[in-house]
């Protein structure tokens, strides 16, 4: 630091000598390094604690989990309960969702299964940071295909037949303190391996006019069959429910303010999260159900903020996640709007109903 041009004091001014300044810096670095070290050490301890079974948590044991389309009614989800099986796909009987869990040994961040096919969005440890991939699983949880992902997984769905899988990832934040995030939604044919890597390639029309925009984002696909699906498209600060065609690669907007749609098994209604005007911007979404024949919606009995793509357990019951003590908990609410929300399973995420 003393290689100045001679036009100024080599190292600032003030009463301290260079030596004194270096000592002050050294002392401060020691203190700050200690604070930093303690913070990392405590966080590491917390991370380690999650590998030990939590008191009062659900019982989890290793076993076989099947995604077969026929079989006993069951719910398969990502179990977030602390212990050796944390974040593994686990199965519970549909009749006893809060009972003992059978853990599969396959870890997923997000998951969905239908028609004997599962889609598992997974983190892969790299030398420095995690990368992400999508795994297509057969009914015995064997990986049949894998696709690298561009960002952090958020939504996953499989078509009722199990032939198509879709997922959404978040991409974002490469500028200084930047807050611009985008999504990418892909659809994969699980039989042929043909990947439509982004729905942004689809021809989207709104009110009969082709819509192109650099800020166009898609998320939350829900399949009607192996050709048609619904999803959310967003541009210019508005969200739209779209109906898409996988073969024609086209989509058309149906109405606005619909996010993370989920089609009922009978194909007549869509559960979605609605940005309700006047709510706290911290918690802007409520769980609503839309009737596709009238395009009219009604709220469910859940009054808390729901930031999830709901799942239909049957034609009358919705399941969704809310933040919980161990990550998230699953709740159910009647789709009709009456009744009250009920806890389905604690420490759980990404449920699929199979039977």
Of residues 257-316, those binding other proteins (CB under 8 A): 281-283, 307
Tell which one of 95, 213, 340, 343 touches other proteins (CB under 8 A). 213
Contact code string over 50-89 relative to other proteins, x by CB under 8 A: x---------------------------------------
In degrees rounded to 5, what are phi and psi of residue 321?
-105, 150
Tell which one of 15, 176, 278, 294 touches other proteins (CB under 8 A). 176
Classify each residue of 83-97 as buried b or exposed e, where b means 16 or more C-beta atoms within 10 Å of its C-beta: bebbbbbbbbeeeeb
Tell which one of 75, 89, 103, 152 touches other proteins (CB under 8 A). 152
Tell which one of 157, 184, 274, 286 touches other proteins (CB under 8 A). 184
Nearer to other proteins, 102 or 235 (CB): 235
Residue with tokens 């917390």: 46
Question: Considering the rule CB under 8 A, would residue 194 count as an interface residue with other proteins?
Answer: no
Question: Considering the rule CB under 8 A, would residue 228 count as an interface residue with other proteins?
Answer: no
Nearer to other proteins, 123 or 292 (CB): 123
The least CB distance from residue 312 to other proteins, in Å, is 21
The least CB distance from residue 134 to other proteins, in Å, is 10
Using a 10 angstrom Cβ sphere, with 0-12 exposed, 13-18 middle and 19 or more buried, the burial of residue 300 is buried
Tell which one of 17, 29, 291, 295 touches other proteins (CB under 8 A). 29
Nearer to other proteins, 66 or 239 (CB): 239
Question: Considering the rule CB under 8 A, would residue 19 count as an interface residue with other proteins?
Answer: no
Tell which one of 99, 146, 181, 295 touches other proteins (CB under 8 A). 181
């Amino acid at each position: 630091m003393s290689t100045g041009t001679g036009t100024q004091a080599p190292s600032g001014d003030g009463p301290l000598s260079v030596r004194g300044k270096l000592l002050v810096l050294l002392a401060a670095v020691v203190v700050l390094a200690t604070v930093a070290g303690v913070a990392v050490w405590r966080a590491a301890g917390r991370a380690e604690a999650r590998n030990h079974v939590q008191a009062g948590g659900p019982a989890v044991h290793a076993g076989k989990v099947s995604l077969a389309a026929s079989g006993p009614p069951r719910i398969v989800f990502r179990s977030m309960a602390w212990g050796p099986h944390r974040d593994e796909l686990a199965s519970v009987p549909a009749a006893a969702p809060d009972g003992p869990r059978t853990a599969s040994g396959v870890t997923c961040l997000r998951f969905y299964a239908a028609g004997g096919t599962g889609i598992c969005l997974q983190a892969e440890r790299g030398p420095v940071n995690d990368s992400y991939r999508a795994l297509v699983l057969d009914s015995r949880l064997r990986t049949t295909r894998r696709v690298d992902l561009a960002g952090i997984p958020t939504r996953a769905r499989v078509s009722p037949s199990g032939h198509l899988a879709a997922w959404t990832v978040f991409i974002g934040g490469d500028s200084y303190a930047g807050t611009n995030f985008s999504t990418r939604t892909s659809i994969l044919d699980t039989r042929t391996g043909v990947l439509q890597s982004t729905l942004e390639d689809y021809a989207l029309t709104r009110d009969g006019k082709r819509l192109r925009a650099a800020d166009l984002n898609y998320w939350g696909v829900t399949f009607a069959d192996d050709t048609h699906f619904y999803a959310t498209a967003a541009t210019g600060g508005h969200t739209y429910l779209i109906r898409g065609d996988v073969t024609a690669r086209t989509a058309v907007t149906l109405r606005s303010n619909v996010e993370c749609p989920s089609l009922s098994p009978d194909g007549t209604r869509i559960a979605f999260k609605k940005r309700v005007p006047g709510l706290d911007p911290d918690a802007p979404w409520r769980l609503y159900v839309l009737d596709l024949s009238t395009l009219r919606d009604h709220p469910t009995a859940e009054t808390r903020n729901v930031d999830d793509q709901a799942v239909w357990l049957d034609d009358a019951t919705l399941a969704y996640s809310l933040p919980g003590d161990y990550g998230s908990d699953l709740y159910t609410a009647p789709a009709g709007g009456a009744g009250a929300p009920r806890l389905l399973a604690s420490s759980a995420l990404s449920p699929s109903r199979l039977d």
